[in-house]
């Protein structure tokens, strides 16, 4: 099934709103209220996308299921455009290549150039405020426990019982991670959903540290670079050096 391209798919009409970035849009259907998502909101939308030659390349409408995502985790044209919308509103966006996937195809079947999207905003929610940067993020305090590997930790919240996970266990945790300059790089707390994983398939500092915990316990770990991702960033945005994690162990199986 394919949804026919709009009559104006080739270019934005003269009455469209054009932003300094080059994004253009028109309102196709009005919404309700005046509350708009922020760049960090979790949004739920229905959408269809075409290239300017009229070729449809993606559609949640065709799949029959809306999609949810953090608005700061998509192409810049979406991040900017959806922030102009209210719930129930439907807009058509003309997104230039530099705000989408570029002007040349990066792989077969990948859309390129100016892309046209019809987007309907179904709902959105704001993430919780980011966890406060620890006062001792720069270095482990003198009262921290330090293991032979160099891992340091202290207890923030007591747990229950004496059962601790083995290295092969699957665990569910909430966590937040910072670099020692106070920059937060990841947080399940911000996403509002704990994460589960086999304990022997994460960085060595996690494998060692979470094995010291009982259910309900929360600890702060200072993980040296050789037990994490190394002293140098391996790709843009990747944390490096000593990393600090607040980890709460929710369950073990």
Residue 111: strand pairing partners: none
pLDDT single digits (tens) 97-113: 999 999 998 888 899 99
pLDDT single digits (tens) 183-237: 999 999 988 889 999 999 999 999 999 999 999 999 999 999 999 999 998 877 7
Residue 59: strand pairing partners: 48
pLDDT at 134 over 90: yes
6 falls within a domain: no
204 falls within a domain: yes
Residue range 76-82: average pLDDT? 97
4 falls within a domain: no
pLDDT reported for residue 126: 87
Task: Let me know whether 109 and 64 are in one domain.
Answer: yes
pLDDT reported for residue 233: 84
CATH of residue 242: 3.10.50.40
pLDDT at 83 over 80: yes
Task: Let me know whether 101 and 163 are in one domain.
Answer: no
How much of the chain exceeds pLDDT 70, in percent?
Answer: 100
pLDDT single digits (tens) 10-27: 999 999 999 999 999 999
pLDDT reported for residue 25: 98
pLDDT reported for residue 245: 98
Confidence at 178, pLDDT banded by 50, 70, 90: very high
Confidence at 130, pLDDT banded by 50, 70, 90: confident
pLDDT reported for residue 192: 81
pLDDT reported for residue 109: 84
Mean pLDDT of the chain: 95
Which among 126-135, 141-150, 183-192 has the top mean pLDDT?
Answer: 141-150
CB burial string 53-86: b at 16+ within 10 A, e below: eeebeebbeeeeebeeeebeeeeebbbbbbebbe
How much of the chain exceeds pLDDT 90, in percent?
Answer: 90
* Rounded Cα–Cα distance for residues 86 and 156 (Å): 41
* Rounded Cα–Cα distance for residues 207 and 210 (Å): 6
Q: Is 77 in a helix, a strand, or coil?
A: helix
Give the residue from 74, 91, 125 where a domain finishes: 125
pLDDT reported for residue 242: 98
If one counts the domains in the chain, the total is 2
Top pLDDT among 36 and 193 is at: 36
pLDDT at 43 over 90: yes
pLDDT reported for residue 150: 98
Catalytic positions are 175, 185-186, 203, 229, 245
Task: Let me know whether 153 and 228 are in one domain.
Answer: yes
140 falls within a domain: no
pLDDT reported for residue 252: 97
72, 205, 128, 130 alpha-carbon torsion, rounded to 10°:
-80
Task: Let me know whether 26 and 104 are in one domain.
Answer: yes
pLDDT at 153 over 80: yes
Residue 242 carries which DSSP code? Answer: S
Task: Let me know whether 81 and 52 are in one domain.
Answer: yes
Domain that holds residue 200: 145-252
């Amino acid at each position: 099934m394919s949804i026919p391209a709009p009559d104006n798919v080739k270019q934005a009409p003269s009455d469209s709103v054009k932003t300094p970035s080059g994004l253009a849009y028109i309102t196709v259907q009005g919404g309700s209220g005046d509350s708009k998502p922020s760049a960090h909101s979790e949004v739920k939308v229905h959408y269809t996308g075409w290239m300017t030659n009229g070729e449809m390349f993606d559609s949640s409408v065709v799949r029959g299921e809306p999609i949810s995502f953090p608005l700061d985790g998509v192409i810049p044209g979406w991040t900017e455009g959806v922030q102009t919308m209210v719930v129930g509103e439907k807009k058509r966006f003309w997104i230039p290549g530099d705000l989408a996937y570029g002007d040349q195809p990066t792989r077969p079947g990948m859309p390129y150039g100016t892309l046209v999207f019809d987007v309907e905003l179904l709902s959105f929610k704001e993430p919780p405020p980011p966890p406060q940067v620890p006062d001792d993020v720069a270095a482990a305090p003198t009262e921290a426990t330090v293991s032979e590997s160099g891992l340091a930790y202290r207890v923030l919240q007591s747990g229950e019982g004496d059962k601790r996970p083995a290295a092969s266990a699957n665990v569910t945790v909430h966590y937040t991670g910072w670099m020692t300059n106070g920059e937060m790089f990841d947080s399940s707390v911000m996403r509002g959903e704990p994460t589960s994983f086999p304990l022997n398939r994460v960085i060595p500092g996690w494998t060692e540290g979470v094995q010291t915990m009982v259910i309900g316990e929360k600890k702060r770990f200072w993980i040296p670079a050789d037990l994490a991702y190394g002293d140098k960033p391996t790709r843009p945005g990747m944390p490096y050096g000593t990393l600090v994690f607040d980890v709460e162990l929710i369950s073990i199986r």
